[in-house]
Structure 1
């Protein structure tokens, strides 16, 4: 299933899609695969797999902590692609979210080829803008991969138009100024940002702003096509470092709560 199809299926059910994120390799490669499959089974419509990176300037402390542990255990790009292959085999659209430097280091054309071979749906690139992405756009188009760029409340209308025009799959609206992470209340910047994006594109708009429970998911789902959750999933695992079964149970409970939220919006 393509990312766009997953969003369309959710829309046909009169709800938003639930997009779940975890970094590859935490607590280890098999553990991350188990966790991501648990999220799929419990209600995630789309999966984002983070490529752990040594300088995660846009990630909050929760995601940084898990990614750092993955790096310390030697996780490499090949492990990320192996994780993609295992999760994509469930039939759930599976994207990689990564800073650009590791892709450039791996080789842009090679990365696109290997991601497609693993069954990956595409790439989310938080620090790459379309006007600097000529090589990636060409490689993604060659392999029919989704190109998901970010828009933010600070984006001008012209930049939103340019960015959404370059996207395929969906548009990632990040409504938190600064680093990511869970928050107790959702941002009043998100609704206007989604409206501005919808004025210039027919692509689904997914919103990431630190959602951590079903009530917040329902709030975001009232105006967005997708609710993107990362730090809350990572926290569920970090909170159970010595009991993997308990971590998976916590992931199931959280995913079911969030999936219920996007359905009742």
Structure 2
């Protein structure tokens, strides 16, 4: 079993959802970002998504766009992001880690080189938001052949006719984008989330993780009652943006992560 399968299987046995956290690699700088990354599991993150900075993150809202700019301004590269994963794995061999981003940097780096180095570093999955299933051969198929899960995004506009195509070849989990729009946008109603989760369940046995617009422990708990995972990104990234020092950034992200984890872990009690 992969790390993702092991983690979701264990959480199912424990009757609770996963807290999936997102931060951008190298935001606000390498050392601070690495300290945050290393601290997330102890703060309650069950799965970590690590963003690969890119100059044109079209699916992301202002908070994560600015995180990309901060990271790139501090010379973060895809090679450095892979190095962060290697350093993370020196102290943590259990927590699933997923790289999230766009295809352009991977294509520029070289797909075969990227997959080989990502696997060796300890990457468990990929979310590449601008690569549709019609282009599975470009990255999805070779990544899965190397043992790296390829996680698909589905949205409120992904209808029942399109869903089987989107889910074909998916592995790890399904990321349901609960609002139409960019990251950090307004939150979906719980009724919508329940309907969407039930619809996805008819199409796949993979865990369904729901994100976009989840910012508080209370909201995370509400989603955790209904889905296999809760994804929080912009709210954590905002802690970095608003910090006046590296220490404040680290404490802010990990403190909020602890609060979110408590909400998620108590949701079904």
Q: Per-residue deviation at 1:230?
A: 0.5
Matched residue SS, 1:166: coil
* TM-score with structure 2 setting the length: 0.93
* Residue 261 of structure 1 pairs with residue 263 of structure 2: yes
- Aligned residue in 1 for 2:77: 76
Within-5 A mapping of 1:82-101:
82-89=83-90, 90-91=92-93, 92-101=95-104
Task: For structure 2, list consecutive stretches of 5 or more residues without a partner in the other structure.
Answer: none
**RMSD across aligned positions (CA):** 1.6
- Cα distance in 2 for partners of 1:96, 1:84 equals 9
- Cα distance in 1 for partners of 2:134, 2:147 equals 19
- Aligned residue in 2 for 1:110: 113
CA distances 1:182-209 after superposition (whole Å, capped 9, x unpaired): 6477565332222111111111011112
CA distances 1:92-135 after superposition (whole Å, capped 9, x unpaired): 11110011111111111211111001110010111111122212
- Aligned residue in 2 for 1:248: 250
Matched residue SS, 1:157: coil
- Cα distance in 1 for partners of 2:220, 2:185 equals 12
Q: Per-residue deviation at 1:160?
A: 1.4
- Cα distance in 1 for partners of 2:173, 2:69 equals 28
- Cα distance in 2 for partners of 1:164, 1:8 equals 20
Q: Per-residue deviation at 1:31?
A: 1.1
Q: Per-residue deviation at 1:252?
A: 2.3
Task: For structure 1, list consecutive stretches of 5 or more residues without a partner in the other structure.
Answer: none
The answer as to whether partners of 1:24 and 1:51 remain within 8 angstroms in 2 is yes
The answer as to whether partners of 1:186 and 1:210 remain within 8 angstroms in 2 is no
User: Number of residue pairs matched?
Assistant: 264
